[in-house]
Amino acid sequence: MKVWELGEFGLIELIAETVGKAKRHDLVVGIGDDTAAWRVDKSIQLGTTDILIQNVHFTLDIATWRELGWKALAVNISDIAAMGGTPSFAMVSLGLPPETEVDNVVELYRGMKEIASKFDVDIVGGNISRAPVVIIDVSLIGKASGPLLTRSAAAPGDQIAVTGYLGLSAAGLKILKSKRKLDSKTIAFFREAHLRPHPKVAEGQVLVQHGVKAAIDLSDGLLGDLTHICKASRVGARVWMNKLPIHPLLKSAFKKESLRLALSGGEDYELLFTARSEIIAKLKDIMSSPVTVIGEIIGDEQGQVTLLDTQDKAVKWDETGWDHFKSPGLTKQ
Amino acid sequence: MKVWELGEFGLIELIAETVGKAKRHDLVVGIGDDTAAWRVDKSIQLGTTDILIQNVHFTLDIATWRELGWKALAVNISDIAAMGGTPSFAMVSLGLPPETEVDNVVELYRGMKEIASKFDVDIVGGNISRAPVVIIDVSLIGKASGPLLTRSAAAPGDQIAVTGYLGLSAAGLKILKSKRKLDSKTIAFFREAHLRPHPKVAEGQVLVQHGVKAAIDLSDGLLGDLTHICKASRVGARVWMNKLPIHPLLKSAFKKESLRLALSGGEDYELLFTARSEIIAKLKDIMSSPVTVIGEIIGDEQGQVTLLDTQDKAVKWDETGWDHFKSPGLTKQ
């Protein structure tokens, strides 16, 4: 069997089986969450790694090198945010074709440095290799400042909520690829959404402080990431389609397609979380990002996400989230 | 300017400049050593990342998937060993062509798992992507059990010593590529040296316990790695060519070429260290691996390694170590 036949998530399950149970007593969270977590003295350290590969995750005709640097670090910071942690140290494995311009490499690191400074992260090591395409693999260490947010803590009766808006990054990619004629302000807005995501570290901290237990960052798309929560927590989810936070600019630029982008478009790097309604009501008051309730967690239909229309009727929906080996596209969307 | 014109080490210097000074107070060792190191409560954590890229670091006609798994983790464990630490948690970024056989991926993880178990390491996370070639990037966390070994602590008057033998891995690669006719036991010996290196974690611990301060693991080749120590410590080195530990099997299989392999062949993953002669004399008594004194650290000729013949005359030598963008070969050697 080939990996494209098994798919990304089947392969991850098989790898987890092969690796087997963790043995170290200082491990707190292993394979299957946004980051790993382990104890050091009285503290919890977090670790995550995420890679960007040219012509798989990005193309150089769309992104500048500085934007790539920003994004490579941003996607990792977002994983730390989704655990309720703060990022601290980054290491970078860089693969470069020998013909790469040195100036571009400097721009790449300027982009990383820019977001690193913003989040109090130091770039502390890494390595450089010759490679057939550009490869940027960032490993990021963080620490937990309180209890962890995990994918496995959603409980029946929880409301499901998201920060910010859905589908903007995927819309941005579409616009950048198609070179659609839109006014320059709108293009800049979508370009920023796709290439300079702002990880929700402060928001993750607020969630922890207010007793939220379950969260994930939106990288594979709402339906995909909510399915990850449902599987890890052994619960089901009902999502009200008319409640999804769709930005007015997305609606006006993409009309009907905006719903598909909001449900399945990936890489928004917002936080998706679940908690009791009274906690979420409080969060809506105090968070600077918009917080939108989009559904509820149920005890049955474990591992399933059901979409409901305005009459609470289940809607059939074919696409779920991004699968690295099954999805046909060149990049996530 | 292209990166191949600047070369790997020029590029690393430029990147370190772009990244600038670290700002976090909990950082202990940043860019430029075998691992980064940072404080957590009363402990020191170590972090390193090293990548294997198909047709750059390995080819699939030579290595089995299980050997690749072993090696991908081994090269990172070796970095932790070179700091005097013990490894704890690994994360894996894996890039795979969609046509890859699932069974091969399982074998890869079996190889990682095999060495992980040996060194009390848990594989705790990672990610999988589509990629044009096989990419295995391991990030490894470790902890320091005492003072750190660093590249920058060599002092004039120190002796220079290595554990084990030099050049076996590069010889192994040559044999595997050429399919030279050697008896099967000899081939197995060199294959093991190249594809299943045994990182010197216990040896690194013993070095720390006996007061050694300066070390590096041999990945770029003796001359390259000793130059790293000389530059970081702002000292010079004199190496006695007739003292190099060359294994009898290397001598008999490679005759005169064995000297070049010992000096410039990379990926031995032995420890190269410097210390006062009385410390090294003690270590020779108690270490289970052979320890060989091969030279001495001097105060002048900073950043330079000088090779000496039996009459203590300087020998001209063109090759140094491995440079990822300047070296012509397909893989290190």
Residue ending a domain, among A97, A119, A144, is A144
Q: What residues of B are in contact with residue A228 (Cβ under 8 Å)?
A: none
Among A8, A26, A51, A56, which would you mutate to test the B interface (most chain B Cβ atoms within 10 Å of its Cβ)? A51
Same domain, A110 and A178: no
What are the φ/ψ torsions at residue A57 (nearest 5 degrees)? Answer: -100, -20
pLDDT digits (tens, 9 = 90+) for B136-167: 999 999 999 889 999 999 999 999 999 999 99
Do residues A78 and A202 touch, judged by C-beta distance below 8 A?
A: no
CA atoms of B61 and A175, how far apart (whole Å):
43
Segment A87-126, tens digit of pLDDT: 999 999 999 999 999 999 999 999 999 999 999 999 999 9
**Residues A276, A210 share a domain:** yes
The answer, yes or no, to whether residue B332 has pLDDT greater than 70, is no
Q: Are residues B263 and B309 in the same domain?
A: yes
- Quick one: B173 and B303 in the same domain? yes
Q: Are residues B196 and B252 in the same domain?
A: yes
pLDDT in tens, A183-201: 999 999 999 999 999 999 9
Q: Chain B partners of A130 at a C-beta cutoff of 8 Å?
A: 53, 56, 324-325
Whether the CB-CB separation of B102 and B57 falls below 8 Å is answered with: no
B45-59 average pLDDT score: 96
**What distance in Å separates the CA atoms of residue A111 and residue A123, rounded to the nearest whole number?**
12
Residues A9 and A137 grouped into a single domain: yes
A61 DSSP 8-state letter? T
Question: Which of B40, B93, B98 lies at the smallest CB-CB distance from A51?
Answer: B93
Of B144, B168, B191, which residue sits at a domain end?
B144
**Minimal CA separation from B251 to chain A, in Å:** 31
Q: Which of B12, B27, B325 is facing A98, going by the closest CB pair?
A: B325
Q: What is the ipTM of this complex?
A: 0.93
Question: Which CATH number characterizes residue A21's domain?
Answer: 3.30.1330.10
Judged by CB atoms closer than 8 Å, whether chains meet at A27 and B122 is answered as yes
Of A1, A51, A117, the CB nearest to B137: A51
Is residue A311 situated within a structural domain?
Answer: yes
Is A164 found in the same domain as A137? no
Same domain for B211 and B274, yes or no, is: yes
- pTM of the predicted protein model: 0.94
Report residue A146's pLDDT band, with 50, 70 and 90 as the boundaries. confident
User: Which pLDDT does position A329 carry in this prediction?
Assistant: 40
Residues A167 and A234 in one domain: yes
CB contacts < 8 A, A to B, total: 262
Closest chain A residue by Cα to residue B116: A19
Same domain, B228 and B129: no
Of A38, A91, A124, the CB nearest to B89: A38
The pLDDT value recorded for residue B176 is 93
| Cβ–Cβ gap A324/B105 under 8 Å | no
Mutate to test the interface with A, among B102, B104, B115, B117 (most CBs of A within 10 A): B102
Asked if B22's CB is within 8 angstroms of A122's CB, the reply is: yes
DSSP classification of residue A148: P
Residue A328 is predicted with a pLDDT of 45
Determine the average pLDDT of the residues in B41-68: 96
Number of folded domains that form chain B: 2
If asked whether residues B270 and B187 sit together in one domain, one would say yes
Domain-embedded: residue B329 = no
DSSP letter assigned to residue A290? -
Percent of chain A whose predicted confidence (pLDDT) is above 90: 90
Q: What is the mean pLDDT of residues A166-187?
A: 92
Domain boundary among B144, B171, B188: B144
**B82 and B109 fall within a common domain:** yes
Mean pLDDT of the region B247-267: 94
Cβ A132 vs Cβ A89: under 8 Å: no
B187 within a domain of the structure (yes/no): yes
B40 confidence band (pLDDT: 50, 70, 90) = very high
- Please say if the pLDDT value at position A324 is more than 90: no
Residue B322 lies in a domain: no
Residue-level pLDDT at A321? 58
In the predicted model, is pLDDT for residue B329 greater than 60? no
Q: Is the residue at A115 inside a domain? A: yes
In a domain, A256, yes or no: yes
Residues of the domain holding B239? 159-315
Place A181 in a pLDDT band, splitting at 50, 70 and 90.
confident
